[in-house]
Structure 1
Amino acid sequence: MTERSLRPLTEEEYLALEEASPVRHELVGGIPYAMAGASLDHNLIVTNLVALLKPLARAQGCRVYSETARLKVSEDTFYYPDVMVVCGPKAHPLYETAPCLVVEVLSPGTEAQDRREKLSHYLRLPSLQAYLLLEGARPGGVLYRKTPSGFREERLEELLILPCPEGTLKLEEIYEGVA
């Protein structure tokens, strides 16, 4: 039996680990967790969404990132959202800190974390206007929209009206080609 010491990593240690590792890790409370691969449908949803968001984001001076871009949500927690939109200057060469939109595509292995842990962290970001959870198996999901009194949960219908980047997307276009 092999013993391994486990202690929280600093930001610098985590970023060095990520640079040297062939596997991506999210950092939660200073502890790195290897990320699993995604299904083809998951990847297709992300790709479709990035393609739909890109023109809206560009027109509004924002950037769209997918799956391999880090988001720092606290001193000891970094995630790799499936999609995020950021407006304004880049925070750091290796990560962003102020998205206006974060999207996670749900899968059986990540759904609980996306609905609880990540929801809690993301909704605390001052820049965030919306957190979108998309179903991975069928068209649908939930949008958490920022309002003056906090975030409001909205079930997705045929159209998705985004506050940032401002625009409307058709759910059928997000899920185009998904089995």
Structure 2
Amino acid sequence: MALQQLKQNGISPEDYLAGELVSDIKHEYIDGEVYAMTVTSINHNRIIGNLYAGLRAQLVNMPCEVFTSDIKVKAQNNFFYPDLIVDCERKKGDQHFTETPLIVFEVLSKTTRKLDQTLKRLAYQSLPSLQDYVLIEQDFVDVEVCRRSNHWQPEHYYLGDQVYLAALDLFLPVHEIYAKVDNDDMSSFLQSALA
């Protein structure tokens, strides 16, 4: 989701969290500034839905849970709404954010790519619980996984590959992540599968 800065400078984290409980739209909190989030595309939602379904099915008998973008992640002095998270350490307490994601997924767009690849990446990677940070392109097929165990070096997965999530020791086929996504890579993949 793209962000639009509001005219609220220097707001406290407590005021931000209280405001989110009554707001009709989501906002991210970055270093004391509040940014309104904009709407997402159909392809973005397809990717998130595919990931959620695939992960939820595989986590049924595990203590881990998968959450969509309605749950915030507190990272350093920021609150973000990642597209999807897996959390295995949820404790009683605040029901609107977590500080213990195991995996964070962000679907990239032209308006969010820079923020997701820079500020958010560094903030998420500062969390002791985070093991995998996954960036997914929506306009073409490319899944980038950065793992703590690999010093956050990126690994890329494409059609025909299976994304390995080391933190959960499970695989997700790339074509299932992109099921029904409308982009040139998927169109070519489906045509070659039918040939």
Q: TM-score, normalised by structure 2?
A: 0.84
Residue 152 (structure 2) pairs with residue 154 (structure 1): no
Distance in 1, Cα, partners of 2:118 & 2:140: 21
Q: Which of 36, 39, 44 matches 1:42?
A: 44
Distance in 2, Cα, partners of 1:150 & 1:104: 19
Matched-pair contact (CA < 8 Å) for 1:73–1:97 = yes
Per-residue CA distance 1:120-157 (angstroms, 9 max, x = gap)? 1111111011000000112212100111x622211113
Distance in 2, Cα, partners of 1:160 & 1:25: 30
Instruction: Report the 3-state secondary structure (helix = DSSP H, G, I; strand = E; otherwise coil) of the residue aligned with 2:152.
Output: strand
Report the equivalent of 1:178.
181
Matched-pair contact (CA < 8 Å) for 1:56–1:166 = no
Report the equivalent of 2:78.
77
Letter matched to residue 166 of structure 2: P
Report the equivalent of 2:34.
32
Question: Which sections of structure 1, spanning at least 5 residues, go unmatched?
Answer: none
Which structure shows the higher helix fraction?
A: 2
Larger relative contact order (Cα-Cα within 8 Å, sequence gap ≥ 6): 1
Instruction: Report the 3-state secondary structure (helix = DSSP H, G, I; strand = E; otherwise coil) of the residue aligned with 2:138.
Output: coil
Matched pairs, number: 174
Per-residue CA distance 1:28-74 (angstroms, 9 max, x = gap)? 00111000100000001000000001122232210101111111112
Letter matched to residue 172 of structure 1: H
Instruction: Report the 3-state secondary structure (helix = DSSP H, G, I; strand = E; otherwise coil) of the residue aligned with 2:164.
Output: strand
Instruction: Report the 3-state secondary structure (helix = DSSP H, G, I; strand = E; otherwise coil) of the residue aligned with 1:59.
Output: coil
Q: TM-score, normalised by structure 1?
A: 0.91
Distance in 2, Cα, partners of 1:23 & 1:5: 15
